[in-house]
């Protein structure tokens, strides 16, 4: 029964872009939503599975986005005497141009490393102190990129970013010419993320995370290596942030340090909490709900409230924070709670 339901859901997901092909705005929103699903699932590993706190998730989005900006654009135009470096990418354009699917692995590895670096200072911390450290990390990393013009080109940013290239194909997939192609790439990435999440949850490492979440001292007494377990949670969760960040960078065709604000970390955290902490499908539902709320409901609400001088988009972080508070008060287990929380 479960397999049949999964096959039906996959068939509907594949048919979806053809059904709404006339509504490019909705298709664009759906592509971005899939990237948010990946990020929510990544943060759910840290917050939901391991019971740790991460208020600086935007930092991994930044790192993943700039990885593809550096090795998937003309930014370093003087490399190789102006002839460029090309890896599984046709052409002779200046700069470094690595195939998108190779960059995904590089971005995930780079952000996993930085996730472990973030996790290291929190190993001896508890509660509010963990929140402070991760919050600081989320503020420091975007600030570094905003001020280090050699890395980010300052407020101008890096553009254009290479489109998604499929080796052997005659064309490329990407924004704005091929929304359908970008959708299927994002869908494939989301399915890989779902598969990895499910396997991790049921693995020995996943059970160690759950034991850590329920009672850290009891987990340590059972022989669980707390240091390694926490670092794996931060590293794997961060890897998915960079994974999605690289996709969004090529999809938006631009990377600018001013795009990355602390409010984005709150946004992703709200997805996890509203959907259901520790629930894989809860993270998916939370990401879809809040992404569409941000894309369609807030602008429409702002239009209706315009006579009163209220712009909901300007206070979107406050709106999501309010939703987070209401969820914690009225339905702390989330919209789609995990089996353990339902029990």
266 lies in some domain? no
What pLDDT does residue 259 have?
A: 84
Tens digits of per-residue pLDDT, 103-134? 999 999 999 999 998 888 887 777 778 888 88
On whether the CB atoms of residues 74 and 206 are closer than 8 A, the answer is no
Residue 170 has pLDDT above 50, yes or no: no
Residue 175 has pLDDT above 80, yes or no: no
CA atoms within 13 A on the CB side of 10: 12
CA 135/CA 227 separation, integer angstroms? 21
CA 203/CA 196 separation, integer angstroms? 10
CA 14/CA 187 separation, integer angstroms? 8
Select, from the ranges 71-75, 121-125, 256-260, 325-329, the one with the highest average predicted confidence (pLDDT): 71-75
What is the 3 state secondary structure string of 219-232? HHHCCCCHHHHHHH
Residue 341 has pLDDT above 90, yes or no: no
- From 239, 96, 69, select the one nearest 157 (Cα to Cα): 69
Q: Quote the distance between the C-alpha of residue 218 and its chain's center.
A: 32
255 lies in some domain? yes
CA 37/CA 286 separation, integer angstroms? 8
On whether the CB atoms of residues 261 and 199 are closer than 8 A, the answer is no
Residue 151 has pLDDT above 70, yes or no: yes
Please name the residue ranges forming H helices in 45-127.
58-71, 100-122
The dihedral over CA atoms of 267, 271, 276, 280, expressed in degrees to the nearest 10, equals: -130
Domain that holds residue 34: 27-260
What pLDDT does residue 176 have?
A: 40
Residue 255 burial (CB count, 10 A)? 30
Give percent of the chain with pLDDT exceeding 70: 94
Of the two residues 2 and 204, the one the predictor is more confident about is 204
Tens digits of per-residue pLDDT, 265-316? 989 999 999 999 999 999 999 999 999 999 999 999 888 888 888 888 888 8
Instruction: List residues bridging with 98 in a β-sheet.
Output: 87
CA 74/CA 72 separation, integer angstroms? 7
As a 3-state breakdown, the chain gives helix, strand, coil percent values, each rounded to 5, of 70, 5, 25
Residue 343 has pLDDT above 60, yes or no: no
Residue 173 has pLDDT above 70, yes or no: no
What pLDDT does residue 148 have?
A: 86
141 lies in some domain? yes
Mean pLDDT of the chain: 88
- From 109, 65, 71, 99, select the one nearest 249 (Cα to Cα): 65
Classified as helix, coil or strand, 118 is helix
On whether the CB atoms of residues 73 and 93 are closer than 8 A, the answer is no
288 lies in some domain? no
What crossing angle do the helices spanning 226-252 and 58-71 adopt, rounded to 10°? 50
Residue 139 has pLDDT above 70, yes or no: yes
Mean pLDDT of 46-70: 93
193 lies in some domain? yes
The residues, ordered by sequence, that sit 6+ positions from 269 with a Cβ below 8 Å of its Cβ are: 43, 47, 54, 55, 57, 324
What pLDDT does residue 191 have?
A: 96
Per the listing, tokens 């102190």 go with 129
Domain count, the chain: 1
- pLDDT category at 174 given cuts 50, 70, 90 is very low
Residue 185 has pLDDT above 70, yes or no: yes
Tens digits of per-residue pLDDT, 227-246? 899 999 999 999 999 999 99
Mean pLDDT of 129-141: 88
Mean pLDDT of 68-97: 88
What pLDDT does residue 166 have?
A: 66
What pLDDT does residue 172 have?
A: 47
Tens digits of per-residue pLDDT, 17-44? 888 878 889 999 999 999 999 999 999 9
What pLDDT does residue 179 have?
A: 67
R_g of the chain, CA atoms, integer Å: 20
- pLDDT category at 198 given cuts 50, 70, 90 is very high
143 lies in some domain? yes
253 lies in some domain? yes
Residue 342 has pLDDT above 80, yes or no: no
6 lies in some domain? no
């Amino acid at each position: 029964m479960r397999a049949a339901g999964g096959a039906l859901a996959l068939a509907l997901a594949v048919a979806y872009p053809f059904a709404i092909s006339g509504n490019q705005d909705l298709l664009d929103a759906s592509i971005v939503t899939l990237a948010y699903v990946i990020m929510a699932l990544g943060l759910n590993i840290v917050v939901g599975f391991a019971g740790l706190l991460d208020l600086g998730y935007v930092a991994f989005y930044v790192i993943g986005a700039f990885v593809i900006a550096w090795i998937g654009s003309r930014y370093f135009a003087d490399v190789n005497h102006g002839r460029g470096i090309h890896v599984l990418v046709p052409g002779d354009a200046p700069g470094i141009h690595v195939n998108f699917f190779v960059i995904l692995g590089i971005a995930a590895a780079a952000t996993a490393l930085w996730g472990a670096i973030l996790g290291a200072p929190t190993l001896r911390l508890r509660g509010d102190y963990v929140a402070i450290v991760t919050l600081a990390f989320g503020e420091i990393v975007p600030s570094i990129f905003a001020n280090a013009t050699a890395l980010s080109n300052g407020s101008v940013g890096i553009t254009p970013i290479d489109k998604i290239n499929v080796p052997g194909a005659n064309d490329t997939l990407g924004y704005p010419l091929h929304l359908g192609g970008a959708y299927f790439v994002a869908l494939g990435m989301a399915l890989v993320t779902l598969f990895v999440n499910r396997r991790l949850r049921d693995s020995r490492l996943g059970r160690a995370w759950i034991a850590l979440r329920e009672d850290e001292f009891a987990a340590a007494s059972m022989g669980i290596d707390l240091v390694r377990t926490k670092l794996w949670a931060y590293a794997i969760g961060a890897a998915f942030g960079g994974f999605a960040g690289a996709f969004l960078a090529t999809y938006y065709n631009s990377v600018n340090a001013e795009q990355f604000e602390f409010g984005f970390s709150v946004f992703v955290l709200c997805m996890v909490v509203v959907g259901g902490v520790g629930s894989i499908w809860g993270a998916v539902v939370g990401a879809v709900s809040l992404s569409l709320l941000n894309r369609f409901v807030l602008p429409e609400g702002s239009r209706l409230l315009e006579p009163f001088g209220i712009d909901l988009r300007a206070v979107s972080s406050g709106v999501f924070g309010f939703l987070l508070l209401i969820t914690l008060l009225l339905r702390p287990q989330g919209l789609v709670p995990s089996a353990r929380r339902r029990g």
